[in-house]
Chains A and B, each alone.
Chain A
Amino acid sequence: MSERVLMKGNEAMAEAAIRAGCRHFFGYPITPQTEVAAYMSKKMPKIGGTYLQAESEIAAINMVLGAASAGVRAMTSSSSPGISLKTEGISYIAGSDLPCLIVNVERGGPGLGGIQPAQSDYWQATRALGHGDFHVLVFAPSTVQEVVDLVFLAYDLAEKYRMPALLLSDGLLGQMMEPVSFPDPVEGGAEKPWAACGHQNKRPHNIINSLYLKADELERTVVERFARYAQIEAKEQRCQQYLCDDADYILVAFGATSRVSQSAVDTLRAQGIKAGLLRPITLWPFPKDAIRAHIPHVKGFLSVEMSMGQMVDDVRLAVEGKAPVGFFGRTGGVIPKPSEVVEAVRKMAGGDR
């Protein structure tokens, strides 16, 4: 561990990626993720790494596909509209079983939307980062320190399960400064005997590919991938819980809204309402087991989001109708106030009593 330094979320993320062994960054400017690229462009040439400003988001993600095929830890970062462009490449990366790190510093949408913080890409991140049957690992940090820690974890799990990892940040976390310390640097990551790095006339040729023209063959590869996904869902669900054990009302919130929600929980407790916070750290796999464990004692769950209600779908799927599930959110770049969240819980609890 390094000593603690004060850093912006986006810059800490870039530094963490470098320390996690990433030497290949391919990006394209877009607000509010630009500091990631700017930091990489400053650092990479000094350490023999690659910073390459691509001609488009589409090219950038395909450069990641190429570098990941060669077996190195590659990365790209963008914000919401740019991620939409990357989805083609992400689908191919998933279909080719390649590990890599993709960052979305979310902003408001749809369309060009806005440049203020949002969480309205939850559906895209967890359901539809491209065409076809596949998942990516999705991590949702809520502090700058967690941004750093999850970058390391994202690369490790991406390589372990041979799939892309997405770090879902937002404009608030990206621009905010907090003290961080960095884990010891690692180099290169796991062995990659499957990589297309030149066989040096020593082994049969490796092929990185997502095309299977025979239906039964394609089905077999997808089913094999889903067997891996089942393992991940069993082993890799992560969340943090705050005062959940005796809670009547559990707020479910990730990233920036979990910070707002934690303040709301403290206020509600002071008012005599037993509230708690369950903060998903992995959005896929969604921490449904932890949520389910609270069903017997809660009077309700409230999903708090910077969207019109997207993660609430996963809360409902986890709860399976066995407890009330509510939603409160602001969207378009508006950050909910703790007082608004408190009000939403009080309303769920039957109004002012």
Chain B
Amino acid sequence: MAMVYQKSKMLTDAPLHYCPGCTHGIIHKLVAESLEELDAGGKAVGVAPVGCSVMAYDYFACDMVEAPHGRAPAIATGLKRALPDGMIFTYQGDGDLAAIGTAETVHAATRGENITVIFVNNAIYGMTGGQMAPTTLPGQVTQTTPYGRDVTTAGFPVRVCEMLATLSGVAYAERVSVDTVPNIRKAKAAIKKAFETQAAKKGFSIVEVLSTCPTNWGLTPTEALEWLRQNMMPYYPLGVYQDRTANEKGVF
């Protein structure tokens, strides 16, 4: 019988701990498939964050390092400098990347560090039970914004791709979503392109993936996908924010 579909060899058999309806599983699959299709799993080292995907080191079948909260881009920098031909990636959530790890993110990007960042934006701190994230939308209710995020006291959400696109070290920055099958296919293409950018030594690459958190948003999985479309997409428009991959030397 012909095999038409199978789980990527770049995923282990460990059962995922993610909540039902959470889109982390889809994003893991896209990362794993991209590494496998590029035959990069053997030279890949992934860096797991602190947050919902903290145990990603058990799920990806490549070598993995677990980072302190927010420091994944610094660890990836150390790995890449030691393994210049390695395929080094971080997998980070919004609190990890855009709050406690902002400095590490911005400076890895502006150095043109030749690493790939998979940034999962679900507008909330999931692991700790649903507090305000740097990407929580104005008016969004969370455990620590019980009256909705009031921008006059809590400030505004960070648009990461737009911010990083201004930096000279960024070779490729795209925001995608995994809310529909067509968008999942686009997300896969973006993740693969980000890894190819690194393989060609073009500079820093980041793919921001809009993701759902049905548990902490208090919605069913299908309602959550609709909430993402209605609320996140207008504030975080999908698209390519930087692409210097056509330059022969990338960002340099």
Contact = CB atoms under 8 A, between A and B. Distances in A.
B71 interface: yes
Given A197-B45, A198-B43, A210-B66, A63 B83 contact: no
Contacts of B67: 62, 65, 92
A330 to B, nearest CB: 37
Of B44, B54, B55, B67, chain A has the most CB atoms within 10 Å of the CB of B67
Contacts of A60: 74
B104 A62 contact: yes
Interface string B43-73: 1110100000011011011111111100100
Contacts of A74: 78, 82
Most A C-beta atoms less than 10 A away, residue of B68, B74, B103, B107: B74
A209 B68 CA distance: 10
A148 B127 CA distance: 46
A220 to B, nearest CB: 18
A283 B57 CA distance: 35
Contacts of B61: 205
Interface string A27-67: 00000000000000000000000101011101110111111
Interface in A195-232: 195-202, 205-211
A287 interface: no
B64 A196 contact: yes
Contact of A88 (B43, B55, B62, B68): B68
B77 interface: yes
User: What range describes how many residues of A lie at the interface?
Assistant: 35 or more
Interface in B90-143: 103-104, 106-107
A64 B76 CA distance: 10
Contacts of A197: 45, 63, 82-83, 86
B86 A64 contact: no
Nearest to A63: B78
Nearest to A65: B75
Contacts of A202: 42
B54 to A, nearest CB: 6
Given A56-B103, A72-B82, A62 B74 contact: yes
Interface residues of B, number: 37
Contact of A59 (B66, B83, B107): B107
A28 B143 CA distance: 38
B57 A207 contact: yes
A24 interface: yes
Nearest to B115: A66
Contacts of A63: 74-75, 77-78, 81
B250 interface: no
B68 A62 contact: yes
Contact of A199 (B62, B65, B82): B62
B79 interface: yes
Contact of B65 (A24, A64, A196, A201): A196
A67 B81 contact: yes
A196 B88 CA distance: 11
A65 B68 CA distance: 10
A69 interface: yes
B78 A198 contact: no
B41 interface: yes
Contacts of B58: 207
Contacts of A195: 63
Interface string A16-27: 000000001010
Nearest to A26: B78
A198 B45 contact: yes
A52 B104 CA distance: 13
Interface in A272-330: none
26 contacts: A54-B74, A55-B104, A55-B106, A60-B74, A62-B75, A62-B78, A63-B77, A65-B78, A66-B65, A66-B74, A66-B80, A67-B78, A69-B45, A70-B82, A88-B68, A92-B68, A195-B63, A196-B45, A198-B63, A198-B87, A205-B61, A206-B63, A208-B65, A209-B57, A209-B64, A211-B55
Given A62-B67, A205-B12, 10 more contacts: A52-B81, A59-B71, A59-B107, A65-B74, A66-B75, A68-B78, A70-B79, A196-B64, A199-B62, A200-B42
